[in-house]
Amino acid sequence: MYKARLLLLVTLPTALAACPSTTPVLTQETAEGSTTDPATGSSSGTSNPGSSDEVTSADATTLTTDDPTDASSSGGSSTGAPPTCGDDVVDPGEECDLGSSQLECDADCTLPVCGDGFENFPAGEYCDPGAAGETELCNSDCTLAECGDGVVNAAAGETCDDGPEGSLTCNTNCTAVSCGDGVISEQAGEDCDDMGESATCDANCTDAECGDGEINATAGEVCDDGPDGSPSCDGSCQIAICGDGLLSLPNEECDDAGESAACDADCTLADCGDGQINVTAGEECDDAGESASCDDDCTPAFCGDGNSNFAAGELCDDANENPDDFCDNCYADCGNDCWSDAGCLTDAGRCIRFTCTDGASSETACDSCFGWQPITYDNWLLDGYCSDVSTTYRAVAGYATSCGGAPLCCSDPAGCGGGDNAWHFSNGMNNYYVGPCLGCMEADNCTYWNNIDDGDYTRITACIR
């Protein structure tokens, strides 16, 4: 087959000089590479006259010139082919073209924008959810979805995301903090979260403990009134019942599940004089102190028991009926010298004697010195002894002072003389110096002083038989 093509022959400068015209010379070139001179009709090369592919005048030809405006010399396509994305040439309709995805250009030749549906790793995109905005695997900022990444992804089931450590309002599994959600949020102050009350976790997500103020029925608590309990709730978080063997502070002092030598049946500490008869502790009676029928040692009162019981009408009780001593049938054979061994009788019928004692010895001085009983601090202020004994002292010594550093156990006014005005009495724990003032010419005031002095300074005291 012959194919005609017109070629523009560009002649050399020397050939152009010899020709009268610069009109292009047209030649015919066969498909086999031969050419035909249209002026002479001669041809060169091999021809194939018997071929059906003979070139006709209707065959298309191509004109080639040296015109710089010719399409064959431009950078465009003479055939009108569409632009190609990725050819590194920005064609019409392309925003960019760098041959592949780059920091400044997507692979589809558009400028990179998170959400355009094209992953652009150089631009920092690890994924691109496109028009969806976010997917279960891809965040709206084109990062891979992961709880704790700080980006809330609702498509992935996240209601919050405050980073790997969570926050006061967001759990580490990216759900909103709520006590009972089964996720322990330490930042929100949760100790535990068992999705409700359990034996180890209270309903408020704190560790279950009796005394924490939270009733936890699963842990066996019936009540919980705090670490100290209450009158109605004991220290083991059970309803307080005296005798249940469970100490319920502050209303119970003890609870031995009944009376014991140390604990009364009413759950108070056993003590003779507390008004509760405790047989286990050896009490036969307890009238909260001395009474006509009960001595102050919680034994029945009778003359000869060795316990002087004034409430029973005894002035003395030396546990014998010897008429030659100072006590006969519990009636004191009392003298009229308040400093002597015989003592003196007060207006109330008490047989007393005076002596001097220091603070450290006031509890035992009467007994150790003379075998008499001490008048106690409580007797002096509460049982009427102060007025009775002071009246006797005024009758004997007037407003003279006594003791004030005199010897312990002195037994006469001269030996017990001194310059102090106060009295000494013990309550079993401490010694007190009290009134009335011996040398003060005014109405007697039993609490003129009322202070502790457990030292070795002596003051007057009174003993009773």
Q: What is the pLDDT of residues 32-51, one digit of tens each?
A: 333 334 333 444 443 333 33
- Residue at 113: amino acid letter: V
Surface-to-core class of residue 69, CB atoms within 10 Å of its CB (0-12 exposed, 13-18 middle, 19+ buried): exposed
Phi, psi of 310 (to 5 degrees): -65, -30
Average pLDDT over residues 376-388: 96
Would you state the pLDDT for residue 22? 40
Q: Over pLDDT 70: what percentage of the chain?
A: 80
d(C-alpha 237, C-alpha 55), whole Å: 117
Residues 138 and 145: beta-carbon distance below 8 Å: yes
How far apart CA 295 and CA 240 sit, in angstroms, is 35
In this structure, are residues 326 and 333 in contact, taking their beta carbons and an 8 Å threshold? yes
Write down the pLDDT at residue 291: 93
- This prediction's pTM: 0.36
**pLDDT confidence band for 453 (50 / 70 / 90):** very high
- Is pLDDT of 103 > 60? yes
Q: Give me the pLDDT at residue 324, please.
A: 62
Q: What is the average per-residue pLDDT within 360-379?
A: 94
SS3 448: coil
Q: List C-alpha distances in Å: 35 to 50, 58, 84, 333, 361.
A: 18, 18, 38, 178, 156
pLDDT of the residue at 51 = 37
Contact call for residues 412 and 339 (beta carbons, < 8 A): yes
Q: Summarize pLDDT for 401-448 with one digit per residue, the tens.
A: 999 999 999 999 999 988 899 999 999 999 999 999 999 999 999 999
* Residue 137 scores a pLDDT above 80: yes
Mean pLDDT of 337-361: 93
At residue 206, the pLDDT reads 94
Q: What is the pLDDT of residue 101?
A: 65
C-alpha triplet 49, 52, 58: angle, nearest 5°: 95
User: Looking at per-residue confidence, does 131 or 326 come out higher?
Assistant: 131
Q: Which residue has the tokens 């601090």?
A: 377
Q: What is the pLDDT of residues 154-200, one digit of tens each?
A: 999 998 999 998 888 898 889 888 889 888 888 788 899 999 999 99
What pLDDT, on the 0 to 100 scale, is given for residue 322?
Answer: 66
Q: Where are the domains of the chain?
A: 1-51, 302-332, 336-464
Return the structure tokens found at 319: 């546990």
